[in-house]
Amino acid sequence: MNAIAENSYVLIVYKDKRYFKKVEAGKSFHGTGGAINYSDLIGTEYGVKRGNYEFYEPTLEDIIMYGLRRETQIVYPREAYHICFKLNLKNGSRICEAGGGSGALTCMFSRMVGPEGKVVTFEKEERHYKNARKNIERFAEWDNVDLRHGDIIDFDEKDFDAAFIDVREPWLIIEKVRGFMRGSAYLGIIVPTANQIIETLKALNEGFGDIEVLELMLRRYKTITERVRPEDRIVAHTRILIFPRRLGN
């Protein structure tokens, strides 16, 4: 049985609301659906309903969306899953990340490269670095993340299977990051504006090929059987993804 243990995390669902909470004996949860004592949950199986609430084992998506402390804009799951797929990450892969932010995508990379893989992540801002470190320590599935407080420009390793850039001016470090990558490896870049796409494409003119620029859309539907239809609101734009592949010298 996959039971809820003391000090484990649980996703609490009530209607369209979701809460990510730590199950601590002697404490309780109070929400719009009433109150629940955590002690009553300990030892029960995930996927139960108590009172007005449903209790589920959190997925990585739940952790990123509801549990991870954000101090920067995160890469949302709809982009993160596609990024991992596009970068061809698998158990044993080695990936270098410039701009760790709050560590959301780093946790995804950690899971995808598995216990035999490696994620080297750089974050220059001390406040963001400290927050990312806490998030990674709490939620990364494997001990495979090397989070560094500093600038990737000072890094000097080679033969990474993939790389990812999430900084304001990615074109300034593209050539440096290219030096870390093995031939044919994918580079992922994320930017919010068309102006940044243009400057990035200029920097990719040499040393990269098979370039793709895309944006992902996600539209959810209401689950009320009497009126199944799209949700009234949609987050139409988050950021734009660029995927080039490294060419040899």
State how far the Cα of 216 lies from the Cα of 163, in Å rounded to an integer. 20
Q: Are 107 and 60 in contact (CB under 8 A)?
A: yes
Q: Which of 205, 202, 200, 207 is nearest to 180 (CA)?
A: 207
What pLDDT sits at residue 4? 95
Q: What percent of the chain has pLDDT over 70?
A: 99
DSSP one-letter code for 59: P
Q: Of 148, 191, 146, which is closest to residue 167 (Cα–Cα)?
A: 191
151: which DSSP letter? Answer: -
Which of 183, 186, 213 lies closest to 201 in space, CA to CA? Answer: 213
Checking if the pLDDT of 233 tops 90, the result is: no
Say what the pLDDT of residue 198 is: 97
Q: What is the average per-residue pLDDT within 48-64?
A: 95
Cα separation of 26 and 34, whole Å?
Answer: 17
Could you tell me the end-to-end alpha-carbon distance of the chain, in angstroms, rounded to an integer? 55
pLDDT for 238: 86
pTM check: above 0.75: yes
pLDDT of residue 137: 96
Average predicted confidence (pLDDT) for the chain:
95
pLDDT confidence tier of residue 2, bands split at 50, 70 and 90: confident
pLDDT value at 1 more than 70: no
Query: How many CA within 13 A on the CB side of residue 205?
Result: 4
With CA atoms as reference, report the closest residue to 181 among 242, 118, 246.
246
Q: What is the pLDDT of residues 92-149, one digit of tens each?
A: 999 999 999 999 999 999 999 999 999 999 999 999 999 999 999 999 989 999 999 9
Please say if the pLDDT value at position 179 is more than 90: yes
